[in-house]
């Protein structure tokens, strides 16, 4: 990985600066901030999702600062210019569990001189981290905004089952994902992102990293017509789950780049896209080409391996 002296400068709006804050839970955290000119402002912490960066918040930071806040947006563990994390598939993926990402968040804010956060705002995976932060330290994270990923609550531990017969154990390898048995076999994106090949699939895809990211952001945006008119699911059955958009539930035989490639926006649509022009896509392309996706993907592995669930179980009956 390049050092910060070898990195391309980020083109940021005037009033946003970047810093590197060392000693944060084993990391040196790359931070964008606004509203830093005045001391003792209440802090707002912005946590991005996958596959995003602190840079993703650049267009909302100045309005928040103008409203009187010190706005802090880090590259989270596994992303961008933050360093100190293990990006190997066979490395310490447990260091990416929600609990550790929450420790990163709290340690960063304290290192920057705040004894509390007025509001923690999270998008996607960042929303999961924000919810956990507010759950475990409501005294420190005083309010919360979550985007795109609602908090599902604390999983229930089995109660009063000690005298009941133990359930029969399923032989290893016999449990099938119901999505794979549908007439059109499917797979969940979290399962896909947890696989060994997912990083290479995206980093070295046929259409190239820039075009993959363009198509991926397009299908997840309001610009894509198929995101309009979606209805709530009525159950957790495979048939219902398969009604989700293709970026959540993929065809079983496709990678994510293969899944989104047919929906690449036209040159006319790209030129009309004011919220993410091509020069801004280039920022994501440069950053992920340098770091790969595995750091961000390791959080999904903590989810499918049950680590994130086990941390939440400790808070049974608190909410």
The string of pLDDT tens digits covering residues 37-94 is 999 999 999 999 999 999 999 999 999 999 999 999 999 999 999 999 999 999 999 9
Q: What is the pLDDT of residue 166?
A: 76
Dmax over Cα atoms in the chain, in whole Å?
Answer: 66
What is the rounded CA–CA span in Å between residue 292 and residue 230?
Answer: 32
**Strand order in 16-24's β-sheet?**
16-24, 27-34, 70-74, 43-47, 119-123, 144-147
Q: Please state the length of the chain.
A: 319
Q: What is the average pLDDT across 91-113?
A: 97
| Residue 170 in this model has a pLDDT that exceeds 70 | no
pLDDT band, very low/low/confident/very high, at 172 (cuts 50, 70, 90): low
pTM of the entire structure? 0.94
Confidence check: pLDDT of 6 > 60:
no
Min mean pLDDT across 36-45, 106-115, 174-183 is at 174-183
Q: How far apart are CA 16 and CA 178, in angstroms?
A: 47
* pLDDT value, residue 319: 59
Angstrom distance (rounded) from CA 126 to CA 77: 11
- Per-residue pLDDT of 35-46, as tens digits, reads 999 999 999 999
d(CA 50, CA 292): 12
Alpha helices in the chain (DSSP H): 58-66, 98-111, 125-136, 189-193, 198-203, 209-219, 238-241, 256-260, 267-272, 278-291, 294-304, 307-313
Tens digits of residue pLDDT in 249-290: 999 999 999 999 999 999 999 999 999 999 999 999 999 999
Q: Which residues contact residue 205 at a Cβ distance below 8 angstroms, ignoring those fewer than 6 apart?
A: 212, 255, 257, 258
Angle between helix axes 209-219 and 278-291 (nearest 10 degrees) is: 120
pLDDT at residue 315 greater than cutoff 80: yes
What the block records as the tokens of 56 is 């993703």
Cα 29 vs. chain centroid, distance in angstroms?
A: 16
pLDDT for res 9: 84
Report phi then psi at 205, rounded to 5: -75, 160
Q: Give pLDDT, residue 176.
A: 75
| pLDDT higher than threshold 50 for residue 2 | no
pLDDT for 158-168, tens place per residue? Answer: 888 888 887 76
């Amino acid at each position: 990985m390049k050092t910060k002296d070898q990195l391309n400068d980020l083109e940021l709006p005037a009033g946003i600066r970047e810093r590197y804050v060392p000693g944060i839970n084993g990391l040196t955290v790359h931070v964008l901030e606004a509203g830093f000119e005045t001391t003792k402002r209440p802090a707002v912490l912005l946590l991005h999702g996958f596959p995003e960066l602190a840079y993703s918040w650049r267009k909302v930071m100045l309005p928040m600062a103008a409203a009187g806040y010190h706005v802090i947006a880090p590259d989270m563990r596994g992303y961008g210019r933050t360093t100190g994390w293990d990006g190997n598939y066979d490395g310490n993926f447990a260091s990416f569990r929600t609990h550790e990402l929450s420790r990163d968040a709290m340690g960063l804010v304290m290192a920057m001189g705040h004894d509390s956060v007025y509001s923690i705002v999270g998008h996607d995976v960042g929303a999961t981290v924000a919810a956990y932060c507010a759950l475990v330290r409501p005294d420190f994270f005083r309010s919360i905004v979550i985007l795109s990923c609602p908090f599902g609550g604390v999983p229930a531990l089995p109660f009063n089952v000690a005298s009941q017969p133990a359930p029969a154990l399923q032989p290893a390898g016999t449990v099938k994902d119901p999505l794979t048995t549908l007439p059109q076999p499917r797979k969940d994106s979290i399962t896909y992102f947890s696989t060994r090949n997912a990083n290479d699939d995206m980093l070295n895809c046929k259409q190239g990293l820039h075009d993959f990211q363009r198509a991926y952001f397009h299908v997840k945006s309001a610009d894509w017509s198929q995101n309009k008119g979606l209805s709530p699911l009525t159950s957790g059955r495979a048939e219902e789950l398969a009604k989700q958009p293709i970026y959540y539930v993929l065809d079983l035989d496709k990678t994510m780049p293969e899944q989104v490639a047919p929906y690449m926006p036209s040159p006319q649509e790209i030129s009309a896209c004011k919220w993410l022009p091509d020069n801004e896509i280039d920022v994501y392309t440069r950053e992920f080409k340098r770091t790969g996706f595995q750091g961000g993907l390791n959080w999904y592995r903590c989810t499918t391996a049950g680590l994130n669930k086990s941390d939440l179980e400790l808070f049974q009956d608190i909410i």
